[in-house]
């Protein structure tokens, strides 16, 4: 019985090693499918054999010791390097990707035998996806500017350098401001906003107004709504599409609030989803229907500010600190009933700060249902503010469409809030 189990495990591991090589070989072979037979250094069979050889070396190690498997690996590497060098000299192509992929496949075959099979299989899939993403990655690098690279470095500096040295305790006399938590929340918002900013930069708004609206909702739905409003007055014919983009931005903004609460305060998320979920769904459906009714032939001139600029990051951190102090001071003086008023006033200008401030309040300070109600009020106040911007800066068609859909979404959210 034991021998049967050992044989089954060996068969599974060797099969995984072979499958890894075939998987990578399919991707490599497809990329070079136009090459004549015998003109490629490696294809499906070569990568499959390479991975299987790595797995076989994993079986040899307990029997022969590390010397023979190591010698086989060295000989394999020399062979791959020699043939890759011959191909590079012939085709004047000095890419090292194929060589590194072959060595990696050998190592993954070895790992399939001596290490965890699940982790090895996942690594193989990730590597294959990375190899297949050559064109998108190269396109990303071509579009990448120094500003985006600097922003990524700022995010890494905020996370790796600054965050660990900040004190993880309250530093003010009112025990309100925790620098570590404050900076962590600033990083969270900055990272989410930067993801939307990158998507807009990659599309260059050429993918259409709807995609720009959805991505803009991750960065700043208020800024996008105002930008689209101004564009609607310049090009009234685009008002239906621009309003659809603004609706999608609102839906993404509400979904972003749910995401933040899900990360920071899952208890609040359960209460909040009943109100913001239906509202986001109505905005998304409204935006989709409005967008499908007309073709998106034009782009958008929406150009968001980089959310990881130093001044933007510091300003948000200061705003978050102020909102946190005001929120907790109001609670201490006037009680939980005052939280809704603070949320409404603050939500008119910025939704992220009040969401984070309330979400960080402990359940002992504010019950989950009261916190969810306050965040929902802030979210709907923010929708109201964007509707006002559309009415004052946009065309009539843009403002009316956005106002009607926002009103329906607000009613649905209010109904969900009271029924929950």
Q: Are residues 33 and 70 in the same domain?
A: yes
| pLDDT(266) > 70 | yes
Structural domain range at position 252: 142-419
Q: Are residues 183 and 331 in the same domain?
A: yes
pLDDT in tens, 142-180: 766 777 677 778 778 888 888 888 887 877 666 667 788
Within 10 A of 247 (CB to CB), how many other CB atoms are there? 31
Q: Are residues 198 and 324 in the same domain?
A: yes
| Cβ contact 382:346 at 8 Å | no
| Listed residue (166, 299, 138) closest to 231, CA to CA | 299
Q: Are residues 182 and 278 in the same domain?
A: yes
Exposed/middle/buried for 362, CB within 10 Å: 0-12, 13-18, 19+? exposed
Q: What is the pLDDT of residue 2?
A: 40
Q: Are residues 214 and 268 in the same domain?
A: yes
Among 51-60, 207-216, 278-287, name the one with the lowest average pLDDT: 207-216
Distances (CA, A) of 120 to 59, 104, 112, 123, 290: 16, 11, 6, 5, 46
pLDDT in tens, 279-311: 999 999 998 888 776 554 555 656 666 666 777
pLDDT in tens, 110-151: 988 888 888 888 888 888 888 887 766 666 667 667 776 777
Given 98, 132, 166, the domain boundary residue is 132
Q: Are residues 10 and 116 in the same domain?
A: yes
Q: Are residues 306 and 167 in the same domain?
A: yes
Q: Domain count of the chain?
A: 2
| pLDDT(271) > 80 | yes
pLDDT in tens, 331-381: 777 777 788 888 888 888 888 888 888 887 755 578 888 888 889 999 999
Judge whether 137 lies within some domain: no
Judge whether 28 lies within some domain: yes
User: pTM (2 decimals)?
Assistant: 0.65
Q: Are residues 198 and 117 in the same domain?
A: no
Q: Are residues 395 and 343 in the same domain?
A: yes
Q: What is the pLDDT of residue 407?
A: 93
Q: What is the pLDDT of residue 1?
A: 39
Given 80, 104, 132, the domain boundary residue is 132
| Cβ contact 359:324 at 8 Å | no
Given 132, 155, 188, the domain boundary residue is 132
- What are the residues whose beta carbons fall under 8 Å from the beta carbon of 285, sequence distance 6 or more? none
Q: What gap in Å lies between CA 143 and CA 370, rounded to an integer?
A: 45
């Amino acid at each position: 019985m034991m021998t049967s189990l050992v044989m089954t495990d060996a068969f599974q591991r060797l099969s995984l090693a072979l499958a890894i090589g075939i998987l990578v070989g399919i991707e490599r072979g497809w990329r070079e499918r136009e090459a004549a037979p015998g003109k490629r250094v490696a294809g499906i069979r070569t990568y499959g054999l390479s991975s299987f050889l790595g797995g076989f070396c994993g079986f040899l190690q307990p029997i022969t010791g590390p010397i023979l498997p190591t010698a086989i690996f060295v000989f394999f590497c020399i062979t791959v390097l020699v043939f890759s060098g011959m191909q590079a000299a012939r085709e004047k192509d000095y890419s090292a990707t194929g060589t590194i992929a072959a060595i990696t496949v050998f190592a993954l075959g070895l790992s399939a035998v001596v290490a965890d099979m699940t982790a090895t299989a996942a690594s193989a899939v990730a590597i294959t996806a990375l190899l297949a993403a050559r064109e998108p990655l190269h396109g990303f690098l071509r579009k990448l500017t120094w500003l985006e690279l600097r922003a990524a470095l700022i995010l890494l500096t905020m996370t790796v350098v600054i965050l660990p040295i900040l004190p993880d305790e309250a530093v003010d006399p009112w025990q309100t401001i925790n620098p570590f938590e404050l900076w962590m929340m600033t990083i969270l918002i900055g990272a989410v906003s930067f993801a939307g900013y990158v998507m807009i930069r990659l599309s260059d708004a050429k993918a259409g107004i709807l995609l720009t609206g959805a991505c803009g909702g991750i960065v700043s739905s208020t800024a996008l709504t105002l930008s689209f409003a101004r564009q609607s007055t310049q090009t009234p014919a685009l008002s239906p599409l621009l309003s659809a983009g603004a609706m999608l931005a609102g839906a993404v903004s509400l979904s972003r609030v749910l995401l933040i609460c899900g990360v920071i305060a899952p208890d609040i998320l359960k209460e909040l989803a009943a109100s913001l979920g239906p509202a986001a769904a109505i905005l998304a459906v409204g935006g989709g229907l409005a967008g499908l009714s007309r073709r998106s032939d034009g782009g958008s001139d929406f150009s968001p500010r980089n959310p990881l600029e130093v001044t933007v990051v510091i300003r948000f951190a200061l705003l978050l600190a102020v909102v946190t102090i005001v929120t907790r001071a109001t609670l201490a003086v006037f009680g939980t009933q005052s939280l809704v008023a603070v949320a409404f006033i603050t939500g008119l200008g910025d939704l992220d700060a009040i969401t984070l401030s309330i979400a960080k309040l402990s359940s002992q300070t504010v019950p989950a249902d009261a916190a969810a109600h306050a965040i929902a009020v802030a979210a709907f106040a923010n929708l109201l503010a964007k509707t006002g911007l559309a009415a004052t800066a946009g065309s009539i068609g843009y403002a009316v469409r956005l106002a009607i859909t926002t009103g329906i979404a607000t009613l649905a959210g209010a109904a969900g809030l009271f029924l929950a």
